[in-house]
Chain A
Amino acid sequence: MADKIVVCRCEDVTLHEIEEAVALGHDDLESVKRYTGFGTGFCQGKQCVALCARLVSELSGRAPSLPITPRPPLHPTTIGHLARLLEDRPEKKR
């Protein structure tokens, strides 16, 4: 039995799932992202978005467009590191 081709490893999205999404009419990268969940996991697409863009454009016959909108924080950021962001304190010169 053939093993899976995993296109997005953070969310376990397979090539088959991408093909299915495009076949259902989700033919732009943002729609495929939402239908399959690729690029929404720990790495937020750093590993997979270029591959998914290539695949979606091959499958849909449309030229690859923009990547999915980058969503900050661009690296996982601890809530406790952000909790004092708005504290009013004098700016410190380096």
Chain B
Amino acid sequence: MSALRPLPERADIVIIGGGIMGLAIAWNLARMGQERIVVVEGDYLTSGASGRNGGGVRAQWSSETNVRLMKRSIELCAEFATRMRINVWFRRGGYLFLARTDARAKELESAAELQRAHGLPTRLIEPQEAKELVPELDVQHFVAASWNPDDGVVFPWPFVWGYARDAAKLGVDIHTHTRVTDLVTEGSRVRGVVTARGTIRADRVICCAGAWSPEITRMVGVELPSKPHRHEICSTEPLKPFLRPLVGDLSDGLYFSQSARGEIVGGISNDDVPEGIDHSSSARFLGLYARALSRAMPILSGVKILRQWAGCYDLTPDGNPLVGELDEAPGLFLASGFMGHGFMIAPVMGELYARHLLLGEEKELFARWNLRRYREGKLLTESMILG
């Protein structure tokens, strides 16, 4: 993982970004026998969104694809610790989505129906039952809640290190502190990456740069519809365990859960954030979060916040990702635009991406999620985005 080793001149596949997405794809490719994979990370591992998220992993989504994929991701999370020999503190405490209005409750009900069709135990429950699950909740503002006991949370950092360590064992060459400054091209075709520490030529370059992805594609003149958007999060003093599920409220984007260390970790939507990469903290976030959290769970009013930080969402206009090869720049592949849920989808995306590249599987999904849908006006939907 050290930055000190020289870069190779050639590779078969270069992955830009040592976040969970890049490392999951690298690990899956290597496991399927792909050789000469190089991952270049501009900073240290976990420096980007992979190290800055709340660790939620859920299968409660409103689109068929997300439900199917996330269900698989959760399975992969459950076996990660023993497979990779690193603790990711995966805990199935469930996800409890609160609905404040009948309209929202109806929406959650139809999503729950879809989820049940995929074999999930999701169901709509009354506020009283929600209170039995989480006695500290103030349920008077809610009309219903959607409950899936199988969703869970992980501790994000070791997930990244686990993939990195095992990928390295399988021969993946990972270079941190190696920022990509340009792409090597021949005509419109991408043939490698230029970094501050040297050039690596490769016929396939996969951009897994999260919120930095638009900067990468701009190097070959391609403007992505996705935008970086600061998302803030904070954690409290460590408390003895009392809260099992992650609680979310789609109306204000509030979510919170209790980490393995006992802290209440959570965030909230903030509509007053200009687009752009920004890791600074705001007082406005503290005010929004504290107000919403003490309303949802009044007893937390007397608990202390220890630290706040920020990461960047990679927001697409239709809430769906950008994957597959670019028509405009053959040889350059995208794995980006994962909104705020890139972390939880990465285990399954890694698997699908490797199978797509090496075996040609999942053609339909990769076509549907390709950038060209914006040119062709075939936008998709997903209504269960948090934060």
Contacts and interface: CB of A to CB of B under 8 A. Distances in A.
Do A and B contact each other directly (Cβ–Cβ < 8 Å)?
yes
Contacts of B46: 31, 34
B293 A79 contact: yes
B309 A73 contact: no
B304 A71 contact: no
A73 B2 contact: no
Contacts of B300: 79
B303 interface: yes
B284 interface: yes
A90 interface: no
Contacts of B288: 86
B87 interface: no
Given A79-B294, A80-B301, A82-B290, A34 B51 contact: yes
B41 to A, nearest CB: 11
Given A25-B2, A30-B44, A84-B291, A78 B303 contact: yes
Contact of A78 (B283, B304, B308, B309): B304
Contacts of B51: 34
B371 to A, nearest CB: 33
Interface string B279-302: 001011011111101100000111
A78 B307 contact: no
Nearest to B294: A83
B133 to A, nearest CB: 22
A69 B293 CA distance: 26
Contact of B2 (A27, A34, A69): A27
Contact of B307 (A26, A73, A86): A73
Interface in A24-78: 24-28, 30-31, 34-35, 40-42, 44, 69, 71-73, 76-78
Given A72-B281, A83-B291, A31 B305 contact: no
B237 A76 contact: yes
B287 to A, nearest CB: 3
Contact of A28 (B44, B286, B302): B44
B247 to A, nearest CB: 15
Interface in B2-49: 2, 44-47
B84 interface: no
B97 interface: no
Contacts of B199: none
A24 B44 CA distance: 13
B169 to A, nearest CB: 13
Nearest to B168: A25
B386 interface: no
A44 B302 CA distance: 20
A34 B308 contact: no
B186 to A, nearest CB: 35
A69 B45 CA distance: 15
B329 interface: no
Given A34-B51, A35-B161, A73-B286, A79 B307 contact: no
A34 B290 CA distance: 26
A79 B302 contact: yes
B295 to A, nearest CB: 8
A90 to B, nearest CB: 17
Contacts of A28: 44
A85 interface: yes
Contacts of B287: 82-86
B237 to A, nearest CB: 6
Contacts of B1: 24-26
A83 to B, nearest CB: 4
B305 A77 contact: yes
7 contacts: A31-B44, A35-B157, A76-B305, A81-B290, A82-B287, A82-B290, A85-B284
Given A79-B304, A86-B284, 19 more contacts: A25-B2, A30-B47, A31-B44, A40-B307, A41-B238, A41-B306, A73-B308, A76-B237, A76-B304, A76-B305, A77-B286, A77-B304, A77-B305, A79-B293, A79-B301, A79-B305, A83-B287, A83-B291, A85-B291
Interface of A: 24-28, 30-31, 34-35, 40-42, 44, 69, 71-73, 76-86
